[in-house]
Structure 1
Amino acid sequence: MNRFFHQRPKVLSGMIGTLIYCLVVFPIVNTGVFNTKAMAQVIDTDALDAEAPSKEIATLSKDEKKALVESGVAQYEQGNWIEARQTLEQAREVFPENFAVPYYLGLIYLKEGQRSAAIAEWQHYVAMDPESENSMKIRKSLTLLLREQAEEYARRAIANEATLTGVPLAENTIAVTPFKNLGSADLGPLGKGMAAMVIHDLSQVGDLQVVERIKLQVLLDEIKLGESNLVETQTAPQVGRLLRARNVTAGTLADLEKENLQIASAVVDAEDDKTIGTQEVQGELKKFYDLEKDIACSIVEDLGKKCSDMPKAFGKVHTESLPAFVAFSQGLEHFDAEEYDAARDKFQEALDEDPDFDLARAALIATPYSAMMLMSTSQLVSSASATGVSSGAAGGAVAASAAGGISLGTTAAIVGGAALIGGGAAALGGGGGGDDGGGSSDAPDVAGNWRGTWTDSDGNSGDIVLSIEQSGTSLTGNAAVNGSECISTGTISGTISDTTLNVTITSGTDRASFRAPFSENTSDINGTFDFEAGACAGDTGSFSMTQTETGGADVSW
């Protein structure tokens, strides 16, 4: 396998490091066969502190990291759940780009009855391995787990409602409730579809936490606001307190005349019990997508932000097809009623009308089959265990992309809300530099997606993708790298000036710096890189990249 850069021998220190070297390196050299059983015996999980990895564990080589993962999965396959959890929790600290780790930790946590921890691990897995067949299955299981969690939360919150009064709420939180239909019956389903689009758009705002749609809907059902009454400005404060959201929207839809639509909304401060802003737009029903963007923009402005500073993904039109929008909205109604097969039919109908309707595709992927509702937790675990990567291949289960097209932000409207991606602008799919994305007019705009190739000083080469977000001269984002044993995915930090681009890719303990001359009007960059830290420290090379129109670092190789 090609290395990103030439690998130099490393000196292992400490007793654990020496034992690992003896039992990992020698079998590889002498037999070419890796002994995961022996590795499991050497890395004694009882002797390791799961909360704070030892120095020896923290500085494992690439092969040793792979061995640690393979050992943990082998322990799981043998039924040693406790040992497997301890080993894989260690692996999570030193090999964060390996997606077998959160996959199996999710299974173990489910076995142990730790549903919230299992959800968090599987959401992380889905983000790392978004387009795999196994990821598609896990998303359906996640929906069922999230609904169970939301139902428990709603019951607990309502039971303890009296104790929540007067408790401060976080400033940067918002719950977007369905729009109540005040017009003809034909508009009925559109309120949920409109809210789902607004939820997705607001989840692109970096410092804003948006309540998950499932969590919100289940609560509304519990307090009998989920059907005809919905949420109004008078009931919004109660909803906000129960959801621990400072801001709550309450909105309506109405057709003033044939083929015309009016949308009205208000943002209510749940802590101070007052309306902080109102929004109202009207226009042709067939231009519903423009009206939705106007409402989302107005909400952002009433929250004290500038719509012009939002990332590019915020302004992306979800669909221009009214039939697709109607089918999607009807699918959400079936989804909320747990009529999953009917929901899947409607989401598929929306995709048939508009194959580029990402929200509908995400909804279809995330919607379970109705038969899955009859599965017990042990059956769910057994089903997922049967399709997981084997122990022999687990060490190489490295994410080719930190995010893939639809799996993050777009799933938010249906499954995990902003919680799936930690809120906002962490979602890939476009940055937002220059005057349109929070950048400074004095800095060149490099926000967006860049693809190209790298070559190290030993002649090894591969592909690289950067998905860059920009605020002034500061750069953030995500990277995906092919052909490297040191970095496969990582986070981006850096700066841009009138003459120079500086980007650092960090993946665990590995860190590489990329530098290139830059001019305002170029869409091509050529520069050099060097590894500053990690297993490849000291290695150098060159790279060449071109800005593209495709979305995000959704790379398959």
Structure 2
Amino acid sequence: MPTRAQTLHRIEGCMQAAKLMILFIVFAVAGAAFAAQAGLIVSPDLKQKAAEAIRQEAQLAAVTKPRSVAVLHFQNLSGRPDLDPLQKGLAVMLISDLAKIDVVTVIERAELQALVEELGFGQSGLVDAASAPRIGRLLQAEHLISGALTGGPADRFSISADVLAVGTGKSTGRAQAGGSLEQMVEVEKRLLEQLIHALQLNPTPRQRIALNQPLSRHPQALMDFFKAIDAGDRGDFDRAQQLYASALQRDPGFPMAEKALAELGTLESGKVSASSVGLPENASRDDPKRIQQRRRLLRAMRHTTSFTTRLTPATPIARIPVPSGEVASPEPTPPEEPTTPGEPTTPGEPTTPGEPASPGEPNSPGETTSPGEPASRAN
């Protein structure tokens, strides 16, 4: 018969296993949510994938992803430059919303952008009507949504969109909506409802609630976000960072702008980011100028977003074996974690509250860690 200590040990083991399972589920759901909205920045991997798709065009044309849809950028036929950001912006809003319906597979915007650039359509990502079916086949999409913007009096505009069946090349439905730039969220939602009907989708009540949630309710934050996407497509990553940061300052509750900054951060470690900050193509990640560039961005964003990907307890838990028959004394509060060896703060300078050092990076001269914030542990 197991002793009380053995029983307690087994119970503790089961609880730990349950906690791990819950964490696994949470991270899996979070990863799926991120994947549904990710893909704003064209990465080298996506460019390589697009080139490979073109080389295998004949084989890809014979395969279609069931219940899949791609959204092309909208043509601005209004003659008004102030509507240009909506060309990619409307596509992003529709992609984000359609991805909330789990029975449909939505092609990422960056995947589409990489493909049209590889085909020679340029960084605008605009595709003519004659080429649209080919784009759909290369993306292995079952349906393709394309459309155009037209102007109106004052700041009003109209959108028209077609749903194309890629296999037959025929339109299976149309949608139209209009309003002012201040009403762009409501205009997109009206257009979305018609497209859902044309695609013969039937969202659940819970999905309906999610579909009513906008990317942002702040029109200018949305416009900054749309301009940032275009700047990223043109390779102007400094400008893209500024515009994403501006969108977050206008609307701190703008998760997709934060995720776009994270995507830029991923590219920052490669060749693209080196050129984008004016460094040589072979510049090291530990280059002092590059470290300063990252820290300037972190300081600008410290009140609006978080860049951490680590979940660490504020107070580490120490488990000390207690000999049989003795009563364990209360565990003392552990001291503040020391900085990782090789990452000392600058001697003789006081720490500056509110300016944390970049995780996992050595401090540059003159920059210190915040009081009470431990440095990242080395793996």
TM value normalised by structure 1:
0.43
Contact 1:168/1:271, CA 8 A, preserved across alignment: no
Secondary structure (helix, strand or coil) at the match of 1:311 reads: helix
Q: Distance in 2 between the 1:370 and 1:9 partners?
A: 46
Q: Is the 8 A contact 1:262 1:283 kept in 2?
A: yes
Change (3 A) 1:346 1:228: closer
CA distance in 1, matches of 2:124, 2:310: 46
Mapped to 1, the partners of 2:177 and 2:310 lie a distance apart of: 50
| In 2, Cα distance between equivalents of 1:260 and 1:329 | 18
Match 2:227 to one of 326, 330, 334: 330
Higher relative contact order (Cα pairs below 8 Å, separated by 6+ residues): 1
**Conserved? CA contact 1:340–1:368, under 8 Å:** no
**In 2 relative to 1, CA 342–193 (structure 1 residues): closer, same or farther, beyond 3 Å?**
same
Compared CA separation, residues 155 and 311, structure 1 to 2 (3 A): same
Q: Is 1:174 the counterpart of 2:69 in the alignment?
A: yes
Contact 2:221/2:251 (8 A) holds in 1: yes
2:60 to 164, 172, 182: 164
Instruction: Name the counterpart of 1:349.
Output: 246
Matched residue of 1:207: which SS? coil
Separation of aligned partners in 1, 2:102 and 2:208 = 9
1:255 and 2:159 correspond = no
What is the distance in 2 between the residues matched to 1:280 and 1:358? 28
Determine the structure 1 residue equivalent to 2:110: 214
Which residue in the other structure is 2:326 paired with? none
Tell me if structure 2 keeps the 8 A contact 1:217–1:226.
no
**In structure 1, what is the Cα distance between the partners aligned to 2:181 and 2:198?**
25
Match of 2:135 among 228, 239, 243: 239
Change (3 A) 1:284 1:158: same
Q: Deviations over 1:420-450 (max 9, x none)?
A: xxxxxxxxxxxxxxxxxxxxxxxxxxxxxxx
Q: Which amino acid letter does the alignment assign opposite residue 176 of structure 2?
A: E
Question: Structure 1 CA distance, aligned partners of 2:262 and 2:125?
Answer: 30
Cα separation, 2, equivalents of 1:129 and 1:225: 30
Shift of the 185–388 alpha-carbon distance from structure 1 to 2, 3 Å rule, reads closer
- Partner in structure 1 of residue 214 of structure 2: 317
Could you tell me which of 252, 258, 261 is aligned with 1:361? 258
Which runs of structure 2 are paired with 1:352-501 in the superposition (5 Å)? 352-368=249-265, 371-374=268-271
* Amino acid paired to 2:228: G
Residue of structure 2 equivalent to 1:277: 173
- The 5 Å alignment of 1:222-237 reads 222-227=118-123, 230-237=126-133
Q: Deviations over 1:316-370 (max 9, x none)?
A: 1333333222211110001222322211110111222233333323323332287
8 Å contact 1:340–1:370 — kept in the other structure?
no
**Distance change in 2, residues 1:228/1:364 (3 Å):** closer
TM-fit CA distance, 1:125: 9.8
- Separation in 2 of the partners of 1:371 and 1:210? 27
Q: Is the 8 A contact 1:252 1:265 kept in 2?
A: yes
Tell me if the contact between 2:65 and 2:140 (Cα under 8 Å) persists in the aligned partners: yes
Change beyond 3 A, Cα 1:388–1:220: closer
* Partner SS state of residue 269, structure 2: helix
Give structure 1 regions of 4+ aligned residues with deviation exceeding 6 angstroms: 387-390
Matches of 1:151 and 1:298 in 2, distance apart? 33
Equivalent position of 1:446 in the other structure: none
Contact 1:182 1:254 in 2 (8 A): yes
1:85-124 paired onto structure 2 within 5 Å: 97=22
- Root-mean-square deviation (CA), in Å? 4.2
Once residues 102 and 267 of structure 2 are traced to their aligned partners in structure 1, the CA distance between those partners, rounded to angstroms, is 35
Q: CA shift at 1:160, angstroms?
A: 1.5
How far apart are 1:151 and its partner, in Å?
Answer: 1.2
Identify if the C-alpha distance between structure 1 residues 9 and 290 changes in structure 2 by more than 3 Å, giving closer, same or farther: same
**Aligned partners of 1:248 and 1:98: how far apart in 2?**
37
Amino acid of the structure 2 residue aligned with 1:277: G
Q: Does 1:127 align with 2:31?
A: yes
Structure 2 Cα separation of the partners of residues 389 and 316 of structure 1: 28
CA distance in 2, matches of 1:251, 1:129: 27
Contact persistence 2:146–2:162 (CA under 8 A): yes
Alignment of 1:298-317 (within 5 A): 298-306=194-202, 309=205, 310-317=207-214
* 8 A contact 2:123–2:233 mirrored in 1: no
Identity %: 25
* Matched-pair contact (CA < 8 Å) for 1:143–1:368: no
Name the aligned partner's letter for residue 31 of structure 2.
Answer: A
Deviation at 1:227, TM superposition (A): 4.1
Instruction: Please state how far the C-alpha of 1:302 moved relative to its aligned partner.
Output: 0.4
Please tell me the residue identity of whatever aligns with 2:48.
Answer: E
Q: TM-score, normalised by structure 2?
A: 0.61
Residue aligned with 2:72, SS:
strand
> Which residue pairs with 2:297 in the alignment?
none
Give the aligned partner of residue 237 of structure 2: 340
Q: Is the 8 A contact 2:40 2:260 kept in 1?
A: no
Against the structure 1 CA distance between its residues 229 and 330, is the aligned structure 2 distance closer, same or farther, given a 3 Å change threshold?
Answer: closer
Indicate conservation of the 8 Å contact 1:233/1:266, yes or no: no
Distance apart, 1:308 and its partner CA: 7.8
